């Protein structure tokens, strides 16, 4: 009877989970804040102005006091 080596699926090295750390991260990953900053710099001046205007409108909307529309409390 001939000797059969163990199959690769049973090999302990193949079933071992990779360690967390620097090896697990891709070498070109950048933090989300840096990606957003780079995308912002690629925007045209017009688009930046539109984003600033929309941001100001939302800020005003959320900073306004709540309007009471004649509603009464449930309790």
Tokens standing for 37?
A: 């900053």
Q: Are 30 and 37 in contact (CB under 8 A)?
A: no
* Of 72 and 43, the one with more pLDDT: 43
Task: Classify residue 4 by its DSSP letter.
Answer: -
pLDDT for 47: 96
User: What are the residue ranges spanned by the domains of the chain?
Assistant: 29-63
Of 4, 6, 23, the residue nearest 14 (C-alpha) = 6
Name the pTM for this structure.
0.46
* Of 74 and 22, the one with more pLDDT: 74
The tens digit of pLDDT for each residue in 5-63 reads 666 665 555 556 666 655 555 557 899 999 999 999 999 999 999 999 999 999 998 88
């Amino acid at each position: 009877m001939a000797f059969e080596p163990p199959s690769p699926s049973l090999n302990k090295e193949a079933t071992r989970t990779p360690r967390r750390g620097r090896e697990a991260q891709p070498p070109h990953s950048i933090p989300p804040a840096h990606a957003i900053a780079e995308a912002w710099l690629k925007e045209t001046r017009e688009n930046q102005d539109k984003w600033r205007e929309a941001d100001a409108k939302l800020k005003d909307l959320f900073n306004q006091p709540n309007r009471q529309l004649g509603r009464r409390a449930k309790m």
